[in-house]
Structure 1
Amino acid sequence: MTSSAVLCGYGGWFPKNPAIYKAFIDHMVRRALRRSTDSTSHEPAVAAFGEAIQGDSVMKSLFDQVFLQVDTRNKVTDFEHLLSFLDCIIVTAPKYEVATDENGDVIGEPIGVPIYLIFDLLSNTAAAYDLFRMKEFNRALKALLENWGKFLMQPGSNLTLNTTDEGWFGKAGITSLETHLGKYSFEQTYKCPDAAADNRGFTTWDAFFTRALHDGVRPIVTRDNHPVTFPGGLQTRAVVEPTLIYSACESTVLRIRRDVKQHDQFWLKGQQYSLYNMLNRDDDYAKLFEGGTVYQAFLSPLDYHRWHSPIKGTVTDIVVVDGTYYAVLPDAGADHGDPDLPEGDPHGALIRSQPFLTIEAARVLIYIKSDDINIGTMCFIGVGMAEVSTCQVTVKKGQVVEPGMELGMFHFGGSSHALVFSKGTEFHEGDEIKEGKHVWVNSVIGVATHKQDSE
């Protein structure tokens, strides 16, 4: 049999090939059945989550309604069944799922966010919209996810980093990992502790997920994308134009919106950005950015997950916001013309809710003030989607940052981010920066001018 891999649907969050999704769900159903048959008790973290839900009459009732409202394609039959699924997931690392297609070929796609796939259809219900936004629910879920996160940082969590068909470095897996790496291989792009080893020397899953780039593979460039680095990676700061805006993440452009309001109807289908909610209900910051521009792009589980500064400036404020993990705007399914799902398919509501997640999900806000009047103060928002709940900041308030300098990183899965510019800044995106375009970190995404100068 031969192996093949394809660019993943919904940015790698939801398998593009239905056979892969079916294989994953069927595999989970069998594992959950074996787990519940072999043991009468849940994993401690799962048991604690279950007790928190069952001990609250409102949450218990809402969960009962979720299972009544969910689409018939759902394979998680009830709350106890859900707990059995979670038992299986939190003691293993995400893996590369393989299946056999109609031609007998081995096909594969990564399942980087397995808990999300279990919650996917459940979240697209009216009851889940209420339940998954409750502080009590997210407090209980946070404890469960943190427990899994600790496992993913321990030796032994790297067992899926191997060269088998179901390994991330198998033939299909490495092909997927190299989808957006251009002329470089995985080993040429990322720092691998032992590039010759089957697991590339990564001793934990988290070390693999937060892998760093080799110097020079994502150089800071000029407006025409010419590198401005000398041998050894030394940056020529003098030739970097101060008005250029650089990509903060290796990501796919979701959308760009101008003249953003302080308060808007983010719950409607158009999902308008509401600055007051995005910026943690801070009136002063909401007023500062009123009438400005939001650039949003999302990361695949396959992407590089560290954030880089999009401008030169000083970090003036850092705000960490606790939020939701699986709350979405329930919808009628995929729209007509959806590139990956048939019209009306209820899967993937979380991905279709990304603008909504900028006001609901766990996130971090990093404010950077440029010395250049064309930019002024801007805000980087790192959005932790689903089980990607950990946003680690590596800079400090008052620190001067250069374009391309690391700001922080996501842990444990895919994610989204936004750049917010003030009303006084006119953001002119590059000709190639269009919705659906995958953009390398540190590449030029646009140029800023002062609005008075651009009129």
Structure 2
Amino acid sequence: MPPQYQRPRPSKQTILTRYGGWLPAKPEVYEAFFNDLLRTYDPKRPGAHVPAVQEFEDAIISSSDIGLLNLFEKAFIQSAPENRVRNFQQLLHCMDKIVVAAPKFQVSRNEQGEITSGEPIGVPLYLLLDLLSNTAAGYDLFRNTRFNDALKALLDSWGKYLQSSKSNNTLNNSDEGWFSKLGLETLDNGRGIFNDIYECPDETAVNRGFTSWDAFFTRKFKPGARPIQPQPDFPNFFIYNACESTVLRKATGIKEHDQFWLKGQPYSIYDMLATIQDDRVAQSFIGGTVYQAFLSPYDYHRWHSPVNGTIREIQIIPGTYYAALPDEGAEKSDPDFQPGDPRGAIIRSQAWLTQAATRAIIYIDADNKDIGCVVFIGVGMVEVSTCQVSVKVGGSVKVGDELGMFHFGGSTHALIFGPDVKLKFFDYVQANEHLHVNIPLAAVEI
């Protein structure tokens, strides 16, 4: 058995442990976000939509045979009273503003116009759809293939904007900029000083030389910022963290179909691996171990290999973007929200999303035969419409080598191990702990 690994220092937790970066912690910021979007809405004069939103509306209305618009109307009726967007036309109006802009810091002001607080809104479309997803009609709507096709077209259009030079207009030190004093404090929190750890095209520029929002979002660490801890006496015995992320949970004894993760959430290794037509692959992982963690919009968004090995197979699986399992709101044990708060159902649905959402699946045959095949799953949640893979089948990878990346938004990931792999997770791998990429997660017992 290899020795215990000691993490150099604990990472500082973000303001919200589970919802941090996804939903504003401060109610006044949440309200200010919707006030800004709805201030110019006039139901008597809705105005023309931007092309991508118009195409989305056309796709929803033309799907009368499957009733997508009817499901939308039901979701609005069923949504919690906290929902500020009350009908489909209001939703389209808000989308018009969001998909032609980059995510920003949202500030709230008092009557004198002075800033009282502020938080980054990393996933603005999610805020529009959050409470709709926590309804019975929303559950049906957001899992619908035609709906997700229409939504993907909208997200792809927005993604092109976020890759253009126009989208770097929030990469500044203004009150709503990501490089304001508050913005840098948020980006640095538990991660390190921005200029010290990230590769910046121009560290002296206010925007650090990033030419687009997407370039900023997919930024790289500097060499040495997240070092691999060498283990010369025990090569290949450690499983390393594939993503800079917050621990959701770890579980052993995976079954064919199970419900052990979160209350009321069915879990299926077959669906996770999308192997319904060929269950031989899934069968090899039954009885094994799953580790899952999620990324904040502030986090580093590239994936790294958890082991030394060879890429066996790669799959890109289309799926949902905003689907959630409707629930009764935050439970008593929720670390952030008051019991019954209806917001955040999709965050509470992350275990289920590993089998429902758009995702990239990478199979890695580890050099260590006691590990065997490791599966990395990058799950594109909410605003993420692209899971980009950097490796190729047959290629060799070392611990820390880049596997791929998410493009803008929020996301989660999982590692799956077979039943014969005996893992001992280190003590700091606990739910709601934010962990740096490339640190050891577990050791293999032999």
What is the TM-score of this pair, normalised by structure 2? 0.92
What pairs with 1:145-156 in structure 2 (closer than 5 Å)? 145-156=155-166
Look up the match of 2:92: 83
Look up the match of 1:313: 309
- SS of equivalent residue, structure 1 residue 159: helix
What pairs with 1:278-289 in structure 2 (closer than 5 Å)? 278-282=272-276, 283-289=279-285
Look up the match of 2:359: 363
Change (3 A) 1:405 1:134: same
Q: For each residue in 1:319-339, what CA deviation from the matched residue of structure 2 results, as whole angstroms up to 9, or x when unmatched?
A: 000000010000000001322
- SS of equivalent residue, structure 1 residue 363: strand
Change (3 A) 1:358 1:125: same
Tell me how far 1:285 sits from its aligned partner.
1.7
Look up the match of 2:217: 209
Look up the match of 1:141: 151
Rounded Cα–Cα distance in structure 2 between residues aligned with 1:41 and 1:102: 32
Rounded Cα–Cα distance in structure 2 between residues aligned with 1:447 and 1:267: 23
Look up the match of 1:92: 101
Rounded Cα–Cα distance in structure 2 between residues aligned with 1:246 and 1:20: 37
Look up the match of 1:164: 174
- SS of equivalent residue, structure 2 residue 267: coil
Tell me how far 1:67 sits from its aligned partner.
1.1
Tell me how far 1:179 sits from its aligned partner.
0.3
- Does structure 2 conserve the Cα–Cα contact (< 8 Å) formed by 1:388 and 1:412? yes
Q: For each residue in 1:169-222, what CA deviation from the matched residue of structure 2 results, as whole angstroms up to 9, or x when unmatched?
A: 0010000000022xx410011001111111111010000000000000101014
Fraction of identical pairs, as percent: 52
Amino acid paired to 1:435: A
Rounded Cα–Cα distance in structure 1 between residues aligned with 2:256 and 2:336: 33
- Does structure 1 conserve the Cα–Cα contact (< 8 Å) formed by 2:261 and 2:267? no
Whether 2:33 is the aligned partner of 1:24: answer yes
Rounded Cα–Cα distance in structure 1 between residues aligned with 2:382 and 2:119: 19
- Does structure 2 conserve the Cα–Cα contact (< 8 Å) formed by 1:221 and 1:240? no
Change (3 A) 1:240 1:200: farther
Look up the match of 1:273: 267
- SS of equivalent residue, structure 2 residue 170: coil
Rounded Cα–Cα distance in structure 1 between residues aligned with 2:333 and 2:37: 31
Rounded Cα–Cα distance in structure 1 between residues aligned with 2:197 and 2:261: 40
Look up the match of 2:48: 41
Change (3 A) 1:162 1:34: farther
Look up the match of 1:229: none
What pairs with 1:172-187 in structure 2 (closer than 5 Å)? 172-181=182-191, 184-187=192-195
Q: For each residue in 1:46-71, what CA deviation from the matched residue of structure 2 results, as whole angstroms up to 9, or x when unmatched?
A: 11111111111211211111111111
Whether 2:292 is the aligned partner of 1:296: answer yes
Larger mean Cα displacement after TM superposition, 204-213 or 10-19: 10-19
Q: For each residue in 1:105-127, what CA deviation from the matched residue of structure 2 results, as whole angstroms up to 9, or x when unmatched?
A: 63221100000000000110000
Tell me how far 1:6 sits from its aligned partner.
6.7
Tell me how far 1:428 sits from its aligned partner.
1.2
Rounded Cα–Cα distance in structure 2 between residues aligned with 1:133 and 1:159: 34
Tell me how far 1:35 sits from its aligned partner.
11
Q: For each residue in 1:221-269, what CA deviation from the matched residue of structure 2 results, as whole angstroms up to 9, or x when unmatched?
A: 146xxxxxxxxxxxxxx56620100000000000001101122348972
Rounded Cα–Cα distance in structure 1 between residues aligned with 2:304 and 2:203: 25
Rounded Cα–Cα distance in structure 1 between residues aligned with 2:262 and 2:165: 45
Change (3 A) 1:6 1:267: closer
Look up the match of 2:368: 372
- Does structure 1 conserve the Cα–Cα contact (< 8 Å) formed by 2:256 and 2:286? yes
Rounded Cα–Cα distance in structure 2 between residues aligned with 1:240 and 1:40: 65
Look up the match of 2:229: 221
Tell me how far 1:387 sits from its aligned partner.
1.2
Rounded Cα–Cα distance in structure 2 between residues aligned with 1:106 and 1:178: 21
Change (3 A) 1:34 1:209: farther
- SS of equivalent residue, structure 2 residue 75: helix
Tell me how far 1:272 sits from its aligned partner.
4.8
Larger mean Cα displacement after TM superposition, 378-387 or 61-70: 61-70
Tell me how far 1:312 sits from its aligned partner.
0.3
Look up the match of 2:348: 352
Rounded Cα–Cα distance in structure 1 between residues aligned with 2:325 and 2:177: 34
Q: 1:50 aligns with which of 26, 45, 57?
A: 57
Amino acid paired to 2:28: A
Rounded Cα–Cα distance in structure 2 between residues aligned with 1:101 and 1:187: 33
Change (3 A) 1:34 1:171: farther
Whether 2:249 is the aligned partner of 1:255: answer yes
- Does structure 1 conserve the Cα–Cα contact (< 8 Å) formed by 2:14 and 2:20? no
Amino acid paired to 1:269: K
- SS of equivalent residue, structure 1 residue 71: coil
- SS of equivalent residue, structure 2 residue 39: helix
Look up the match of 1:335: 331
Look up the match of 2:420: 424
Rounded Cα–Cα distance in structure 2 between residues aligned with 1:36 and 1:313: 61
Which runs of 5 or more residues in structure 1 are unaligned?
224-237
Rounded Cα–Cα distance in structure 1 between residues aligned with 2:200 and 2:44: 38
What is the TM-score of this pair, normalised by structure 1? 0.90
Tell me how far 1:7 sits from its aligned partner.
2.1
Change (3 A) 1:130 1:28: same
Rounded Cα–Cα distance in structure 2 between residues aligned with 1:266 and 1:155: 46
Look up the match of 1:246: 240
Rounded Cα–Cα distance in structure 2 between residues aligned with 1:144 and 1:267: 32
Look up the match of 2:8: none
The one of the two structures with greater contact order (alpha-carbon pairs below 8 A, sep at least 6) is 2
- Does structure 1 conserve the Cα–Cα contact (< 8 Å) formed by 2:261 and 2:351? no
